[in-house]
Structure 1
């Protein structure tokens, strides 16, 4: 059984994780290549990732193992639920958790705005945790992009959008550090960067506190240019063969942010299978978000004690 285990050494502190080899190889071409290279004259069964934090790698492992249903072959860890669900249609009139729902979830829409602000948006403790969850998701997305974990990249995007929809709190220029983190580490065409831009275009209303805080002066210049370009595209009339819902930047958020597949690369699954995956395997996304929330709560708790 020892041959089925890989040691992944993570971070500057060199924390070791024991991972089933077939699970690791099934989710990323990078790990398979790294393993092959490690046996060229090297006896230790170790893959070293110095630039990955222990927290990010733990969340990644949660995602890996959450897909291992009873009876699932490790080699088919990502395909198993898709193969079963590819012929299953999305239930009629049932929204998925990542779909645009007029700015916030039905749960919050039942509350008066004053109650929502008191319990969530204007609650410093809750907001601190929320921001830490977002940072965990963004760092996980960067990890997935760098190490060719294609399905994780799309799953993080779905989870992030679902989290935003749930609380009606979308990315905007107030998230200057998160935007900088993404823009400094992702290619110019990244779907995540595109999500930041469109969320700002559709939802952001400048408030005095932000304007006077100096945050806008620290925004990544490429992000500012992307927002200006998207706003201009949004105001343009549709080209031939387009309409107001299908043009590059639709006029309304319900078309531009309809669901997370808009921001997927779909290298591992088709869009149809992706929607089936979310319909029938929601536990994968729930476990991913739960891992990020626990990590965020731990960080906030430590910061409060210090």
Structure 2
């Protein structure tokens, strides 16, 4: 077991903090960190790296995700209730946290739960539209949306937390985290019957920090085209004009999907008309650079706590931001 440590400084100069981390935890999941700490760069000699464009909270969320890869949890297999986004909520899954400073937990796999490889093969994964996870009634969610302004803001902030994690994974080459963020966000959206809505800050940040071909942006495009433009009582043309005023690139991508969907109703070409056909699970969006599709599906099905943890972390992050 490699217990060599490195120091990561995160944040801008006036708010920067140093975090001590086991080197192999970073190297195992990121070619960027592997090259920095195991190559011939000064970071390898000094065992120190500065990430001025990363907040402390985002980096600690990343570390928590890293630890869930090697520390299995016996709980946290159910997607939390949407009320987790409300201040004072007790909806968080008990037991789905680790103890002590997360960056210094020994990097070994525990044996506290049964081998997940023996789970029945017919159990569906939490990111499948026809899966076994509890799905909240749309009217229940709309009730929160209409009556709880704090929930609306909480949902917006949690989506930005997902985006920050994805941007971190994109900048520092953590391919599995990119895929996992998409799985967690897809699973949450399915369970809550509430997909990412059109929001200016989200779109501007995504297009400013990610390449246009990003899978995160693709999820936002599909969500908008299939869920929000098709919502009963919604004028698609009016919504598209609103989107165009916010971000012309995003509006163009949404219109392309809409045109492809309409083409599908007339021929066998184009995009599927229904979301469950266009995106039966999150692997539709994955890069599969860390795991192939078959192993990815097995991991999502057998290790749901990884994605539940991401959902809970982003919810907790939004509450912290709201308090500030």
Q: TM-score w.r.t. structure 2 length?
A: 0.76
CA positional deviation for 1:95: 3.3
Residue matched to 1:138? 163
Task: Note if contact 1:172-1:200 (Cα within 8 Å) is conserved in structure 2.
Answer: yes
The 1:32–1:166 alpha-carbon spacing in structure 2 relative to 1, beyond 3 Å, is same
Task: Work out whether residues 8 and 48 of structure 1, in 8 Å CA contact, stay in contact via their aligned partners in 2.
Answer: yes
Gaps of 5+ in 2: 73-105, 110-114
| Residue in 2 that maps onto 1:91 | 121
Are 1:260 and 2:282 an aligned pair?
yes
CA shift digits 1:168-187 (9 cap, x unpaired): 111232x2221221122222
Contact 1:170 1:199 in 2 (8 A): yes
TM-superposed CA distance for 1:188, in Å, is 2.2
Q: What is the alpha-carbon root mean square deviation over aligned residues? A: 3.3
Q: Which residue of 2 aligns with 1:129?
A: 154
Unmatched tracts of structure 1, length 5 or more: 78-83
CA shift digits 1:114-151 (9 cap, x unpaired): x4322355421112111111100011101101111000
Bigger Cα displacement from structure 2, 194-203 vs 154-163: 194-203
Equivalence map 1:53-64=2 (5 Å): 53-64=55-66
CA separation in 2, counterparts of 1:254 and 1:41? 46
Deviations 1:60-95 (A, max 9, x none): 01101111237xx959x8xxxxxx86x768632x43
After superposing the two structures, state which structure 1 stretch, 178-187 or 24-33, moved more: 178-187
SS at match of 2:287: coil
Partner of 2:218: 194
Residues 250 and 122 of structure 1: CA distance in aligned 2, closer, same or farther (over 3 Å): farther
Task: Report the alpha carbon displacement of residue 257 of structure 1 after superposing the two structures with TM.
Answer: 2.1
- Higher normalized helix content (fraction of residues): 1
* Number of equivalenced pairs: 280
Q: Which residue matches 2:258?
A: 231
Other structure's SS at 2:250 match: helix
Label 1:229 to 1:217 Cα distance change in 2 as closer, same or farther (>3 A).
closer
CA distance in 2, matches of 1:121, 1:166: 19
C-alpha contact (below 8 Å) 1:202/1:252 kept by paired residues: yes
Q: CA separation in 2, counterparts of 1:52 and 1:271?
A: 30
- Structure 1 length-normalised TM: 0.80
